[in-house]
Structure 1
Amino acid sequence: MSGKILIVDAVATNRIVLKVKLAAAYYEVAEATSGAEARALAAQTRPDLVLAGADLPDAQGADLVHALRADPALAATPLVLMQAHADRPSRRAALRAGADDVLEKPFEEQLLLARLRCLLRRHHGDDDLHLHAGTVQPHGFAEAPPPFAAPGRVAVVAPDARAARGLRAQLAETGRNHFDALGAGEMIRAVSGGAAPDLFILAVPPADSESALRMLAELRARPQTRRRPVVAVLDEPDQALAARLLDMGADDAALGPTDPEELAVRLDAQLRQKQRNDRLRDRIQDRLRAAMTDPLTGLYNRRHALPFLDRLATTSAQEGRPFAVMVADLDHFKQVNDTHGHAAGDAVLCRVAQLLQANLRGDDLLARIGGEEFLIALPDTPRQRARQTAARLCRIVRQAPIEVAGARIPVTISIGVALDAGRAGNGASPDVHGLLNRADRALYGAKAGGRNTVTFATRSAA
């Protein structure tokens, strides 16, 4: 099945016709005859979308939307209303209340199915974002979009720049957003040269719809704009063209003649959706960084370091470039904790991490891989440069006693070094774990040799 859709309509004939059409498109269908029944059934079935008549025995239009949105099971579920007659004020009220769209009868099956596909695509994408952001709730109880959208940068684009300027003039008086007008060529230059607008309005003239479709394809193909909402505005009520636009990636389609007030409501809904998704993506990035970062020192951790070494070893073998791996360990660190306390020990670790990081190249890797143990990887580094770098790191740490709560704590480190010659074309797979083990054994040698020193692994391909 493509998804579960709840049909809400008091007229049995309407429900039957819709059920036949949706079942033919492989949707699972449930039916309700009133708003109250819809809320009860939603709690049982967790629909992916609600398709409701705007004239029910217990609720109409915006009142129905408010009643459904008040139910946690439907707070973020796509909701489409079907009006029996064209009524702009009712349409605007339903959209303001939270309806995703209002279709006026008679509507073509092609447009209905395209609109459902568009909304379900967004709905399932939202579920994925919640899951990866760690905020997912039981299906059907996802976080609802915030009630207000912050002002955004909106680009009105059209094949003809004059048409874009005309639509911008109509919209400029309706909302808090900043509007720009761009023709096709200007749009390409704008999105290529800097930060993309928050939202695009695509004006689709009937005489040049193919150019508008190409502009939509361009917006969806470019990395700067593929996640930006696109609202298509048609000059005429061309349902077949609207369906095509939705299936090509438009997030919404407003059929002509243009109603600036209604369009402003649709823009606010799309901006709310984008701003919520941006917050979720930021949360995902924060979680990824946290998973790869040591919370005390801010350095990378083992989870990041080992895949980095794998990639470095593979690239070095392909290009025939040597690289060095170092394992550095603080000397007598237990004494620091026992004498000065664990808070002082944490401060020492952080300061040593800062000293090491400040004395490595931008392409080098520094990670904390144990309590007082650090991993350093130096790309494109032969033996002599590795020796100089390791000696410099030992000297810098030794010459910088760390002050904690009035006490000057002398700190030294020992370093074990292993080298990989990075011979190209030898057919051997890089042995990262073997290289680490060699660096670790070299570290033990540095500890046994009196600490505050550097030891190279005895077996090296260098």
Structure 2
Amino acid sequence: MSGKILIVDELATNRIVLKVKLSAAFYDVFQARSGAEALKMAARHKPDLILASTDLSDFDSNAFVRAVRACDVDDSVPVILILPRDTPEARIGALKAGASEVIPKPIDETLLLARLRSLLRQRHMNHDLKMHTGTANALGFAEAPQGFARPGRITVVARQISDATRLRASLSANSRHEFVAVSSEHTGDTLNGHDHPDLFVLQIDPEASDESLRLMAELRAAPPARNCPIIAVLPDQIRRMAATVLDLGASDVICGTVDPGELTLRIAAQLESKQNMDQLRAQLHVGLQAAVIDPLTGLYNRRYALPFVENLIRKQRTDEHSFAVMVADLDHFKQVNDKHGHAAGDAVLTRVADILRNNALDDDLVARLGGEEFLIVIPETSRAQAKQAASRLCRIIQRTPIKVPGVSEPIQVTVSIGVAMCQKPANGARMTVDSLLDQADRALYGSKAGGRNTVTLSARTAA
């Protein structure tokens, strides 16, 4: 099924007609005869969208939408209200009540299905982000964001700059958001720099509709605008294009004479949705970073480092350059913890990590394998260069006393390093990450046995 839809209408004929249309479009449809029944069914079936009449005897529009948001359903479930009369006052009233969209009677089936696809597409994107970032409660999104945190940057686009300017003036008169008017041919200029638009209002020109649709497609593909909502404004003579515009990626569409009050409400709803999605994306980014970053030192961890080495090994099958894998281990680190405490030991690890990071090149990898053991990977290097780099790290760490809060004298530490080299395999031989690290570990044992604070290269080159 394309999704679960709950129809709420007191007239059975209305429900039946809608169910036939939606079932033909492969939606799973449930029906409720009243607002009270709808709330029970919503809690039981968890619909993806609710399509409700505003002519419910037990709930007015405001109360019904508030009740839906308060019941046991996902707060991102869209609610479409069906209006018996299409007036600016009715549309604005429904949007103010919290409706995700309003559909006037008689219902345009093509536009209705396009609205459903658009709203469900946005809902599924929101749901997927939440699935990857954890539950809403865990992320602090148990309640919807209350308005856009800062003034939104709105770019009003029209074929003629004079048309965009007029619409900008009507929208900015009573708004805290920042509006900029641009012509279609200069829209790309708004994507340069750091202050990218948060939302586009795009007027579709009846005489150049293909040009407007092409511009919308370009905005959807441009990285700075990829996640920006687009509200399309269509004159009456091309109202028939509304469904196409939604299917091509518009977040919302408004047809006919533009009521500034209605468009302002739609802008606010889209900005709020964008803010929520941006927060989820940011949280996902933080979660991904946390999965591969060691929280104490800020270096990469094993989860990142081992696939990195695997990728180098894979490239090595066709690359003539060898690379080095070094395993570095702090000498007598247990004595630091025993003498000064684990807080001092953590401070030492953090400082050594900084030294290793600051002395690495851009293409090098520095990671913490665990405890006091670090991994350094140097691509495209020779055996002699690797030994020189490792010896240099030993000298720098030895010559850098580490100041620790609460400890009167700086702590002196040294490091032992084992180095393994990997080069293009011969005769079909295959190197693995485990075998390469094993060679580096064996070389590290040689450094420890040889008196520590020294470098040992593996006796053979991995291939």
TM-score range, shorter chain: over 0.9
Say whether the 8 Å CA contact 2:431–2:462 is kept in structure 1: no
**Cα distance in 2 between the residues matched to 1:233 and 1:248:** 14
Residue 276 of structure 1 is matched in structure 2 by 276
Residue 212 of structure 1 is matched in structure 2 by 212
Letter in 2 for 1:69: R
Change (3 A) 1:414 1:44: same
Aligned Cα RMSD in Å? 2.0
Q: How does 1:150-299 map onto structure 2 within 5 Å?
A: 150=149, 151-191=151-191, 195-236=195-236, 238-299=238-299
Residue 445 of structure 1 is matched in structure 2 by 446
Say whether residues 1:390 and 2:390 are aligned partners: yes
Offset from partner CA, 1:114-155 (integer Å, 9 cap, x none): 0001111111111111111112579xxx84532312321111
Q: CA deviation at 1:384?
A: 1.8
Q: How does 1:307-346 map onto structure 2 within 5 Å?
A: 307-346=307-346
Letter in 2 for 1:415: I
Say whether the 8 Å CA contact 1:323–1:422 is kept in structure 2: no
**Cα distance in 2 between the residues matched to 1:251 and 1:362:** 41
Matched position secondary structure for 1:219: helix
Say whether the 8 Å CA contact 1:382–1:421 is kept in structure 2: no
Matched position secondary structure for 2:339: helix
Offset from partner CA, 1:38-67 (integer Å, 9 cap, x none): 111111111110001111111233343233
Letter in 1 for 2:146: P
Matched position secondary structure for 2:295: coil
Matched position secondary structure for 1:31: strand
Say whether residues 1:459 and 2:460 are aligned partners: yes
Letter in 2 for 1:117: R
Matched position secondary structure for 1:41: helix
**Cα distance in 1 between the residues matched to 2:297 and 2:462:** 33
Q: How does 1:297-446 map onto structure 2 within 5 Å?
A: 297-404=297-404, 405-422=407-424, 429-446=430-447
Matched position secondary structure for 1:318: coil
- Could you tell which deviates more after superposition, 308-317 or 188-197? 188-197
Using the size of structure 2 for normalisation, the TM-score is 0.94
Say whether the 8 Å CA contact 1:398–1:413 is kept in structure 2: yes
**Cα distance in 2 between the residues matched to 1:353 and 1:456:** 22
**Cα distance in 2 between the residues matched to 1:13 and 1:248:** 33
Offset from partner CA, 1:6-57 (integer Å, 9 cap, x none): 0001111111100000010111111112211111111111111000111111
Change (3 A) 1:432 1:195: farther
Identity of aligned residues (%): 52
Say whether the 8 Å CA contact 2:420–2:462 is kept in structure 1: no
Offset from partner CA, 1:380-402 (integer Å, 9 cap, x none): 21122111111111011111122
Matched position secondary structure for 1:437: helix
Q: CA deviation at 1:83?
A: 0.6
Q: How does 1:99-118 map onto structure 2 within 5 Å?
A: 99-118=99-118
Say whether the 8 Å CA contact 2:171–2:260 is kept in structure 1: yes
Residue 56 of structure 1 is matched in structure 2 by 56
**Cα distance in 2 between the residues matched to 1:382 and 1:103:** 70
Q: CA deviation at 1:427?
A: 5.7
**Cα distance in 2 between the residues matched to 1:270 and 1:198:** 9
Say whether the 8 Å CA contact 1:62–1:90 is kept in structure 2: no
How many residues are treated as equivalent by the alignment? 458
Which ranges of structure 1 fall in alignment gaps of 5 or more residues?
none
Q: CA deviation at 1:73?
A: 1.9
- Could you tell which deviates more after superposition, 288-297 or 184-193? 184-193
Residue 125 of structure 1 is matched in structure 2 by 125
Matched position secondary structure for 1:411: coil
**Cα distance in 2 between the residues matched to 1:16 and 1:451:** 82
Which ranges of structure 2 fall in alignment gaps of 5 or more residues?
none
**Cα distance in 2 between the residues matched to 1:360 and 1:3:** 52
**Cα distance in 2 between the residues matched to 1:312 and 1:97:** 57
**Cα distance in 2 between the residues matched to 1:228 and 1:378:** 40
Residue 146 of structure 2 is matched in structure 1 by 147
Letter in 1 for 2:461: S
Residue 5 of structure 1 is matched in structure 2 by 5
Offset from partner CA, 1:287-342 (integer Å, 9 cap, x none): 11111011111111000001111222333443322211100000111111112211
- Could you tell which deviates more after superposition, 218-227 or 365-374? 218-227
Offset from partner CA, 1:350-406 (integer Å, 9 cap, x none): 111111111111221110002110000011211221111111110111111223221
**Cα distance in 2 between the residues matched to 1:422 and 1:195:** 47
**Cα distance in 2 between the residues matched to 1:6 and 1:144:** 23
**Cα distance in 1 between the residues matched to 2:185 and 2:299:** 45
Q: CA deviation at 1:207?
A: 2.4
**Cα distance in 2 between the residues matched to 1:129 and 1:260:** 32
